[in-house]
Amino acid sequence: MAGTWLAIVEGFGGMRILDNKVLFTPHIPGKWDSYSFHARFRGILFEVRITKDNVSVKNLSEKILKLELSGKDYQLKGSEIVTLKREADTFS
């Protein structure tokens, strides 16, 4: 089961940790409509949703989540969501 989770999160989700923040370069297979996953970084629980149209990250904790999405930095407070429109050349 752990291998499946890693394939989704690190493979398709493109999640990496660098410089004390979470980085995402998400991809979605052509035949999928969407997928989502939860992860925790330094005690901060968050949810990631990827669809053919957009990608969103929601901070499910009270601590600030530092992340990079498509090359742009964000700091999400508790319960905040960032949603980006998916562009063909940004997300495969």
Q: What is the pLDDT along the chain (92 residues), one digit of tens a residue?
A: 667 777 787 778 888 999 999 998 888 988 999 999 999 999 999 999 999 999 999 999 999 999 998 889 999 999 999 999 976 544 44
- 5 to each of 32, 71, 80, how far by Cα in Å? 16, 24, 24
Residue 18's identity, in one-letter code, is L
Domain regions of the chain by residue span:
2-85
For the domain spanning 2-85, the CATH number is 2.60.420.10
Please give the model's pTM, rounded to 2 decimal places: 0.85
Tens-place pLDDT, residues 53-69: 999 999 999 999 999 98
- Backbone φ, ψ for residue 66 (5° rounding): -95, 125
